[in-house]
C-alpha cells in the first residue's frame, strides 16, 4: 500500500464481540481491519467485556498455542478443550435475559455458541458482520497483509491505544438499578439494551476534542 497517496485511516485489529468504541470507529468510515498482523494475547482479539450483576465481566475465547510468539492472526485456531462456548452463552444469557431486546436478538448470536469454528479470524469476523448489520454500520475493508501505519493514521492495534477518548452516550443498562453506567462494553450490551435505537445511541457518541 502506497502511504504517500492514500488518505489517513483508522487501523483496527479483528475483535471478539467488539466494543462500542470499536463500532463507533467503523461508523465514522475510513477504517481498515488488519488480518495480516500477529496475534496479541490478553487483547480484544479474543476477549470482550460484558455487564454482570456485580460489575464488568471479561469473556475470553481460548486459542491454541496462545504463547507462541509472532503467531499470524490468520493461523490462530480455537481451543475447544474447555467448554467455553457453553460458559460464554450461559454468561450472556444470565446477564442479559432481563434486557429489553435480548430475546429479540438471541437467535442471531446463539449459533456462534453451538457451532464450532476452526479459526479465530472466521469466528470473530462473522460475529462482527452480525453486529454491523444490526447496528447499521458498514463493514470495513479487510487487509490480508500487514498494514503499515502512516504518521497520520490512527493505529488501534496496540495494547495501549492512543488517540482521543470516546465520550460514550449513556443508555439504560441491564443493571442500572444497582450499578453505575459502564462505558465501552461489548456492542452487544448496547444492542440488548436499546435494540433498534442502538444505531442512534452510537451516532451520538463523540471523541474528546
Q: Report the relative pairing of strands 142-143 and 31-34 from DSSP bridges.
A: parallel
Residue 164, pLDDT score: 63
What residues does each domain of the chain span? 3-207
pLDDT at 209: 60
| pLDDT at 163 (0 to 100) | 55
CA distances from 200 to 1, 115, 118, 170, 195 (A): 34, 32, 35, 12, 10
Beta-ladder partners of 167? 206
Reported as a single tens digit per residue, the pLDDT across 180-194 is 999 999 999 999 999
Q: What is the pLDDT of residues 37-60, one digit of tens each?
A: 999 998 999 999 999 999 999 999
Phi, psi of 95 (to 5 degrees): -80, -35
pLDDT digits (tens, 9 = 90+) for 56-90: 999 999 999 988 889 999 999 999 999 999 999 99
Amino acid at each position: 500500500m502506497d502511504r504517500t497517496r492514500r488518505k489517513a485511516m483508522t487501523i483496527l485489529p479483528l475483535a471478539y464481540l467488539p466494543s462500542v468504541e470499536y463500532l463507533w470507529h467503523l461508523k465514522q468510515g475510513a477504517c481498515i481491519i488488519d488480518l495480516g498482523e500477529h496475534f496479541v494475547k490478553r487483547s480484544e482479539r479474543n476477549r470482550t467485556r460484558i455487564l454482570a450483576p456485580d460489575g464488568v465481566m471479561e469473556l475470553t475465547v481460548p486459542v491454541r498455542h496462545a504463547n507462541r510468539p509472532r503467531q499470524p492472526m490468520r493461523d490462530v485456531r480455537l481451543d475447544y478443550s474447555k467448554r467455553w462456548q457453553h460458559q460464554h452463552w450461559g454468561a450472556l444469557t444470565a446477564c442479559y435475559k432481563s434486557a429489553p431486546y435480548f430475546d429479540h436478538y438471541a437467535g442471531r448470536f446463539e449459533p456462534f455458541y453451538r457451532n464450532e469454528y476452526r479459526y479465530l479470524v472466521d469466528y470473530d469476523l462473522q460475529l462482527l458482520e452480525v453486529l454491523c448489520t444490526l447496528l447499521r454500520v458498514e463493514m470495513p475493508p479487510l487487509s490480508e497483509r500487514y498494514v503499515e501505519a502512516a504518521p497520520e493514521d490512527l493505529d488501534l492495534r496496540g495494547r495501549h491505544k492512543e488517540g482521543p477518548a470516546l465520550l460514550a452516550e449513556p443508555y439504560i443498562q441491564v443493571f442500572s438499578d444497582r450499578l453505575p453506567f459502564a462505558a465501552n462494553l461489548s456492542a452487544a450490551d448496547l444492542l440488548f439494551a436499546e435494540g433498534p435505537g442502538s444505531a442512534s445511541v452510537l451516532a451520538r457518541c463523540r471523541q474528546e476534542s
